Amino acid sequence: MLRFSANISTLFTDMPFAARPDAAARAGFLAIEAQFPHAEMSAGAFGQAARDAGVEVVLINLPAGEFGQGERGLACLPGRREEFLAGVLRGGDYAAEIGCPRVNCLVGNVPDGSAPEACWETMVESLRLAAAALAARGVTLLIEPLNRRDNPRFILGGYAEADALLTEVGAPNMALQYDFYHAAAAGEDVLSGLERRIERIGHVQFSDFPGRGAPGSGWLDFPRLFRAVAHLPYEGWVGAEYFDPAPAGFAWRRDYGAD
């Protein structure tokens, strides 16, 4: 059975952040996710907004540096480990307070002039420390590749690299976030990658490719992908992380056999 969550950082953005949990609930979602809620509301206020709406918060991101200035996380950046770990503690405490069981970590861009190998070593050690800190809070750490069409310097540009990272870090509370859009934009076979990695996947997200819009706006085969998720040994949530500031409806849940 498919269980859909609404990403309120990309949906319902025509209204204040505090109103979006209720908007998601009114649209028929039982769960929400958000990218950086700690930059929008206190944990207490956000948790209360979710409870009032009757939705579960199933995913948030850890702080990712100066996101608006192009940073995409700090884990791989030599010299910024203390700042990264402070963000891990902040995000982990926030997640624990609102009852969110998993956090996603954007691991960062390789800085100009830095050796990718040194950044990789920094990332591995930083994620080991992060996973341990989050385990103490009962939170699962997710990692997510970002395609290099949109993020040319991101250190994890594909799922083979993410596989290697998960193996090298070796933390029991660490898993993969699998995003249909990023997989397609990276030139991967989205369905095959999903099937081969299902035991490592802690969360699924989707938007269509190209364009990062709703299902049906691009060329991804959502009926096939949703059927696969429904029949694979995956019991997690499937996050709608496409961009629509004022969605008029969610016809894809019917049109693609999701309801």
With left for phi above 0 and alpha for psi between -120 and 50, is residue 111 left, alpha or beta?
A: beta
Based on the residue annotation, tell me whether 121 is a catalytic residue of this protein: no
Beta bridge partners of 11: 244
Q: How far apart, in whole angstroms, are the C-alpha atoms of residue 242 and residue 149?
A: 17
CA distance linking residue 107 with residue 84, whole number of Å = 10
Look up residue 3 and give its two tokens: 């269980």
33 burial (CB, 10 Å; 0-12 / 13-18 / 19+) is buried
Catalytic residue among 33, 56, 188, 241: 241
Task: Pick the catalytic residue from 33, 56, 144, 188.
Answer: 144
Ordered alpha helix ranges (H), 57-111: 81-98
- 3-class secondary-structure state, position 209: coil
Packed helices 116-135 and 159-169: angle between N→C axes, nearest 10 degrees: 60
Angle between helix 222-231 and helix 190-197 axes, rounded to 10 deg: 10
Alpha helix (H) residue ranges in 136-232: 159-169, 180-185, 190-197, 222-231
Is 71 one of the catalytic residues? no
Q: Which residues, listed in sequence order, are joined to residue 239 by a DSSP beta bridge?
A: 5, 205
User: How many angstroms separate the CA atoms of 131 and 123, rounded?
Assistant: 12
Q: Which two tokens stand for residue 129?
A: 């420390």
Closest CA to 89 of 43, 49, 46: 43
* Catalytically active residues, by annotation: 144, 241
